[in-house]
Structure formats: C-alpha cells, structure tokens
A and B are shown apart, each in its own frame.
Chain A
Amino acid sequence: MRRFLLLGLAVASIASDLRAEPDIALKPGPGRDTVEAQCSACHSLDYIVMNSPFLTRTQWQAEVRKMIEAFKAPIDPADAEAITDYLTRAYGG
C-alpha cells in the first residue's frame, strides 16, 4: 500500500518538477536512474551536487541510511546500495 502511495507521490512530484523545478543533470553512470527516481520523491537533486565532492563512501552511506531510517524513504536495500555506489562514484570525495 505504501509502495503504491509513494509511486503516486513520485508521479505528482515529477509533474511539479516539469512546472517549477529546473532540470538538474546528474553525472551519467550506473545507478543514476535509481537516484533520480528515489531521491527526487522528497527533495530536488541539487542537494546531491551541493554536497560534493567531499563525502566518502561511508558518509554517503550514512546519508542514504538517514533518509531511510529517519525520513522514512521507502528504499529497498538493493536500491540503497546502488544509490550509495552511484553517489560515491559520481559525487564522492
């Protein structure tokens, strides 16, 4: 049920992106689609670029974990891993 709700939310948020949010072009690489889909459900993707390039893999992992545990982002473990890998590769320091 939650999954379903969140999907609806993501669609709504993409619609509002088209209206108000400038496209933020994340660097290409494996996992980018997952990052764009999951992270942008709650916040614009400039959060990622702004916090770069200085976070280590452990620190990016902690950020992803915070989003899941504290902010209740419904991201499954495989996606969390893919997101951490992408952020470390594209925006790590």
Chain B
Amino acid sequence: MIDRDLAARLVVAAHRRVRDHREELSRLDSVAGDGDHGVNMATALAEAARRAEQGDHSTPADVMRAAGSAFHETVGGAAGALFGSFFGALAGQLSRSEEPDARQLVAGLEKGLARVARVGKSEPGHKTMIDALAPAVRAARESLDRGDDLEFVMATAARAARRGARATAAMRPSAGRARFAPDHSLGTEDPGANTVALVLESWAEQLSSEVRV
C-alpha cells in the first residue's frame, strides 16, 4: 500500500539521489545541450520535496501532483515540462484508488510514459528519457503480472531503466536540441534517461529500506 507519507518519502528520496548526481547530469547535458540538466532537475525536485514534506496533502496522488507542478513552475524547458507531465499523469492514476498499491503504481507509470510520449512527440530510440522510461515500465508490468510485490516490481523497473539509459550512448538523437548535431553526442548517455534511472533507483531503494525496518 502506498500512503501519503510513503509517497512523500519517495519524492524526497528522488530529490536526494538526483541532487547527489547533478554535476554528472549537467556534464552529460553539456555534450549536446546547454549543460544545465542536473541543476534544473535538482532544483525542481528540491521544490517537489519541500512541497511533499510541508504541504497538507491528504493522498499520495496529491503529493505526486504537487511534484509535477513543482517541475512545471520552477524549471521549465523540455525536461521540466516532460517530468512535470510524468508526475501529473502518475498522480491522476493514483487518485483513482483509495488505497493505491503496486497495481496502481504500475498503471501510473504506464500513464506517465504515455503522457511523456504524447507531449514530447518522441518514441523509443530518439535518445530521450523515453529510452529509460519505456523499458522500465515494460519490466514493471511483467514483474507485476508475475505476482511480484511492490518492492520487487520497482527494483526490476529501476534495473531496466538503468540498462535503457546506458543504451542511449550508442544512439543518435532525433528529438530536442541535440538532434541538430546527431553525431556530437554519440558515445554519451542521454541526461534525461539518466534522471529517469536515478529516480526509479531511489524509489526502489526507498521501498526496500522500508521493508527491512
């Protein structure tokens, strides 16, 4: 079961993880972008974490919706819009249940993926966050259908996201700013895909630490 407090802890965990990797994310972004991805994502997640901890949210959906708004309001850019849309779609799905569990979370990840693909008009192979998110969502769905619990589902998703992010190094970009110099970023992983992997890894770790206590 995902309650309001757990949702808040997930947002806080995502912020810590991305903040600790922000220089690395900015460095990846500087190869074909403008070198501020890490700073922007850490800024947005800091605001999301602040809202999660301080806001009077009564449901996990409220927490995720506030996180989405934090992206839309604090950083902008393509990444801000897309991550904001992801959290917004996830919140929409979570709000459909009084007590969301692994099934709602996986359905929420699927909604998030669909929203990001629609808003960003991108597909797998374009060297974007989709290349980490799509395999992660697929792996989460398969894990859930095998009957795995929430912790295991998220760990499976996180591993798939990381593999997906690594695979972007061999891709030529066909979306966003990087597409104007398609060979320039060859050999470098996509920063947005890395952020997806970091967020899902932080969620997997948070869930596994909660099971142990």
Q: Do A and B come from one complex?
A: no
